Homo-oligomer: A and B are copies of this chain.
Amino acid sequence: MSSTDLVCLTVAQAARLVKGKKLSPVELTQAVLERAQALNPKVNAYITITGEGAMAQARAAEREIAQGTYRGPLHGVPLAFKDLFDTAGVRTTGGSKILAQRVPDADSTAVAKLKAAGSVLLGKLNMHEFAFGISSTNPHYGPVRNPWDLKRIPGGSSGGSGAATVAHMCVASLGSDTGGSIRIPAALCGMVGLKPTYGRVSRFGALPLSWSLDHVGPMTKTVEDAAILLRAIAGHDPADPGSLQAPVPDYTRGLKAGVKGVRVGVLSNPYFDFMAPAVRQAFEAAVGTLGELGANVQPVPWPEGELAGLANMTIILGEAAAYHAGWLRTRPQDYGADVRDRLIQGSVLPASLYLQAQRARRTIMESALALFGGVELLVLPTIPVAAPNIGESTVELGGRRVDARAAITRYTQPFNLTGLPALSLPCGFSPEGLPIGLQVVGRPLGEAAVLRLGHAYEQATPWHKRQPPL
């Protein structure tokens, strides 16, 4: 196998080869590590590449497998993590100057679970500072660049996770999502990102942005890989007070069952029908494909969903300001201007508005659950536009320039507020060759159904096969 063939492997493909002893974890790790090192000066997806540690872990995995202990599909597979997941002995900056020298003693729960599954830690991925933004234009570690067009943003806040995965600088990665931070880079980079149900994956040891909205999830090349990673990281953790008790299914089982007869809703109120022409074209084609695959697609209105973004942003502002209050007082100069401005904005947010947003949340949640009485899944665009240029604060939408952050989070934030599982996967390209994302949303703990539709759509379309021009 050539080095290029090696780095392009998905988790599932690598796993089959490793299990059959046709692929050496050391060779695989070496190839991906070399690619990460070679491309990082261009893409800037990594803050820290743990080359020596990765090779040592790969050798240990290889030894263990040779001795007959196979831990499962992640054994010997090199992964990388958004740099807000604590990694024992490896610095964890949160993309910040304030924590630039921080080396945790212990792994976050998600990292510990993936290590226990035998995976290899390749490094820590660049991100929007403190996860509080969607561009990943990091003032301390430099901007992450979109592999499809290096002058554009990869999205954020898990921008390094999206860029590194689609550029084959790791086999798969983890991100976190408070307003869209997994799904946005997944959409803008043309890969797969899953924000599971709130509480499905422990956040323990992951730097918080807004604890009542933070989610941890996989960012992968394929839907099958997302299912493999989710199974490994999901489950109850008493160390995370928001963690759910529900048992964890094998998400790869039944993944290929298709969508015949599945009732799929398309949000029909005009608020959810606001998107750039290329996004509309891709989305309508995707809905057509789902119909051809046998899904029963039907329009459903969700008026309450129009308030979800505002409520979500209000909660993030308040909780982030509470978490950062100490540093904002003592080290204001150590924040990037955009994050500092928003933290100051959050600092003067009245408690009564925060509480009104939390109260609205309950009503919006009830309306969302009612919606899911009639359909099993929802599909909508992940983002109404393709990736803007680095440094651009507005995008063209509906015939005028609108705030980029508001436009880009318009369709992702509602599913943080409601905590529903939401997947983004590629559904086409803009005329400039930029990826477009399809979002699939499910019932609480309905990840299996979400992944099933995602997989059926992915296998029926060519989008995940296209490679960025690097």
Measured CB to CB, the closest approach of chain B to A217, in angstroms, equals 25
B residues less than 8 Å from A354 (CB atoms):
318, 322, 351, 354-355
B residues less than 8 Å from A317 (CB atoms):
351
Complexed CA–CA distance, A346 and B356 (Å): 13
B residues less than 8 Å from A319 (CB atoms):
351, 355
Complexed CA–CA distance, A319 and B354 (Å): 10
How many A residues face the partner with a CB closer than 8 A? Answer: 18
Copies in the complex: 2
- A325 close to chain B: CB less than 8 A: yes
Complexed CA–CA distance, A318 and B356 (Å): 10
Complexed CA–CA distance, A392 and B353 (Å): 34
Chain A 291-309: CB-based contact to B (< 8 A → 1; otherwise 0): 0000000000000000000
- A55 close to chain B: CB less than 8 A: no
Measured CB to CB, the closest approach of chain B to A409, in angstroms, equals 20
B residues less than 8 Å from A40 (CB atoms):
none
Contact B350 A347 (CB under 8 A): yes
B residues less than 8 Å from A346 (CB atoms):
351-352
- Which residues A374-397 have CB closer than 8 A to chain B? none
- A359 close to chain B: CB less than 8 A: yes
Complexed CA–CA distance, A359 and B241 (Å): 12
Complexed CA–CA distance, A347 and B350 (Å): 6
Contact A348 B347 (CB under 8 A): no
Measured CB to CB, the closest approach of chain B to A169, in angstroms, equals 37
Chain A 338-350: CB-based contact to B (< 8 A → 1; otherwise 0): 0000000011111
Contact B349 A325 (CB under 8 A): no
Other-chain residue from B351, B356, B359 in contact with A350 (beta carbon distance below 8 A) = B351
Name A324's closest neighbour in chain B (CB-CB). Answer: B352
B residues less than 8 Å from A255 (CB atoms):
none
Name A356's closest neighbour in chain B (CB-CB). Answer: B322
Name A346's closest neighbour in chain B (CB-CB). Answer: B352
Name A315's closest neighbour in chain B (CB-CB). Answer: B351
Measured CB to CB, the closest approach of chain B to A354, in angstroms, equals 4
Measured CB to CB, the closest approach of chain B to A192, in angstroms, equals 34
B residues less than 8 Å from A351 (CB atoms):
317-319, 321-322, 346, 349-351, 353-355
Other-chain residue from B325, B347, B355 in contact with A318 (beta carbon distance below 8 A) = B355
Name A359's closest neighbour in chain B (CB-CB). Answer: B322
Complexed CA–CA distance, A359 and B354 (Å): 15
Contact A350 B352 (CB under 8 A): no
B residues less than 8 Å from A318 (CB atoms):
351-352, 354-355
Measured CB to CB, the closest approach of chain B to A210, in angstroms, equals 10
Best-surrounded residue of A352, A353, A359 (most CB of chain B within 10 A): A352
Name A358's closest neighbour in chain B (CB-CB). Answer: B322
6 contacts between A and B (CB under 8 A): A318-B354, A318-B355, A319-B351, A321-B351, A322-B352, A349-B351
Other than the given A317-B351, A348-B350, 4 more pairs (CB < 8 A) read: A321-B352, A322-B356, A350-B350, A351-B355
Interface residues of A (CB under 8 A from B): 317-319, 321-322, 325, 346-356, 359
